[in-house]
Amino acid sequence: MLAWLFARSAGARFLVRVEDLDEGRVREQFVGRQLGDLAAIGLDWDGEVVRQSGRTALYAEALARLARDGRVYRCFCSRREVREAASAQHGEAPQGYYPGTCLELSEAESSRRAAEGEPFALRLRAERAEVTVGDRLHGSRTDPVDDVVLRRRDGAFAYNLAVVVDDAEQGVGEVVRGDDLWPSTAGQALLCDLVGLPRPTWAHVPLVLGPDRSRLAKRHGAVTLDDLAGVGWSAADAVSWMAATLGLAGEEERVRAQDLVPRFDPGLLPEEATILGEPEIDRA
């Protein structure tokens, strides 16, 4: 809803994209349900819904450009090996970042292992870059860029590359998303620069968290419209609750999404996350 308010209050387009590169986990009924939920809370969008699974040629072109510029290398590490190496790493690389296990493999060794059928991902050769990115709500920050995966071991293109290409191709001027994704923005900004694409601007907004202050998930109970309906909440109740947590409506005020457009001011958004606890669910 916040992304929609950012767009509509500025007279801009609001785009919806289905990020379904991991086709093994995406089911058509889930897509339909999510689009139905957006409509139910009063959100509309411009143009057709774009699906990443139909845009792989664009990602391949961007990857090829990075490869031509010497910015791609094979990584033969499994996820477990990456986790273990990252947790044990010492030195200059930030904690949790890829420690560069395969970075220094010779081209001959890398090609031999690939020719023998050993699975590999393709990673960005970030060269320890540090990138400064501005954010509409938080100002600017400088972060190191990890050697992020560009294409996974199973051949699927990775999120970081795909969203950079999609945002530029679709003419996205501003990306509004949860503030948990802010640390990854430096890498996406660098990819824009390396592929020759314009950077969008970003606005990272507070999340709704579960009672344990972790990202809201199914384990926290009634978190979808279907779940909420089971405890007596309508879509209209959900909109009014969200508006109240954002300071856009009174605690007991009933509002629709379109009512919030003239009230919306990004500069007045709360900086802290909202905690969704059982008292709020039971209130309905």
Q: What is the pLDDT of residue 107?
A: 94
Taking the C-alpha atoms of residue 271 and residue 182, their distance in angstroms, rounded to an integer, is 14
pLDDT higher than threshold 80 for residue 15 = yes
Residue-averaged pLDDT of the chain: 91
| Residue pair 4/257 in contact by the 8 Å Cβ criterion | yes
Per-residue pLDDT at 258: 97
Read off the pTM: 0.90
Task: With beta carbons less than 8 A apart as the criterion, state whether 53 and 24 touch.
Answer: no
Decide if pLDDT at 90 tops 90.
no
| Distance linking the first and last C-alpha atoms of the chain | 21
> Is pLDDT at 84 greater than 90 in this prediction?
no
User: Could you read off the pLDDT of 256-284 as tens digits, one per residue?
Assistant: 999 999 999 999 999 899 988 643 444 43
Helices (H) and strands (E) in the chain, counts: 11, 11
Secondary structure E strands in the chain: 17-18, 50-51, 72-75, 121-124, 130-135, 139-144, 149-151, 174-178, 201-205, 208-209, 274-275
Q: What is the mean pLDDT of the segment spanning 62-83?
A: 94
pLDDT at 72 over 90: yes
Mean pLDDT in residue range 130-145: 95
Question: In sequence order, which residues have a C-beta less than 8 Å from that of residue 236 and are 6 or more positions away?
Answer: 254, 256
| pLDDT score recorded for residue 216 | 83
Predicted local distance difference test score (pLDDT) of residue 26: 59
Q: What pLDDT, on the 0 to 100 scale, is given for residue 23?
A: 63
Percent of the chain whose predicted confidence (pLDDT) is above 90:
75
What is the rounded CA–CA span in Å between residue 72 and residue 74?
A: 7
Q: Which of 21-30, 72-81, 212-221 has the highest mean pLDDT?
A: 72-81
Q: Which has the minimum average pLDDT: 151-160, 210-219, 241-250?
A: 210-219
The pLDDT of residue 172 is: 97
Q: Is the pLDDT at 92 greater than 60, yes or no? A: no
Q: Looking at 68-72, 144-148, 183-187, 221-225, which range is the least confident one? A: 221-225
Determine whether 52 is exposed, middle or buried from the number of CB atoms within 10 Å of its CB (0-12, 13-18, 19+). Answer: buried
The pLDDT confidence band at residue 249, using thresholds 50, 70 and 90, is very high
Please report, rounded to a whole number, the percentage of residues in the chain having pLDDT higher than 70.
92
Instruction: Point out which residues pair with 175 in neighbouring strands.
Output: 202
